A = this chain, B = another copy of it.
């Protein structure tokens, strides 16, 4: 469907900034994408600051290195569930998540 096509695009092009409206996403979809990207970035940061490899994190959450890579890349095949489980597993608290989701500052 239409949504499927957009989903396929969701991942690409975001790596740099945090723009949200390069293709006609509804406000809710835009917010959803932004949300996932913030979690992705947070995951990458946290993992790195803990000096874990993707493989090591994967083990912690019994997943695989390739999936962790996809999480961090904002791949559309990765669910919020997985992202958040990973963040919790790496030591993030609910408050940490709240900070990631909310306005900067």
* Given A79-B80, A94-B103, A85 contacting B28 (CB threshold 8 A): yes
Q: Which of A1-49 contact B (CB under 8 A)?
A: 28, 31-32, 34-35
With an 8 A cutoff between CB atoms, is A52 at the interface? no
Tell me if B93 and A31 are in contact (CB < 8 A): yes
Q: How far in angstroms is the closest Cβ of chain B from A103? A: 6
Kindly list chain B residues whose C-beta atoms are within 8 Å of the C-beta of A103. Answer: 94-95, 98
Residues of chain A in range 84-105 having any CB-CB distance to chain B below 8 Å: 84-85, 88-89, 93-95, 97-99, 101-103
Give A residues with C-beta under 8 Å from B.
Answer: 28, 31-32, 34-35, 79-81, 84-85, 88-89, 93-95, 97-99, 101-103
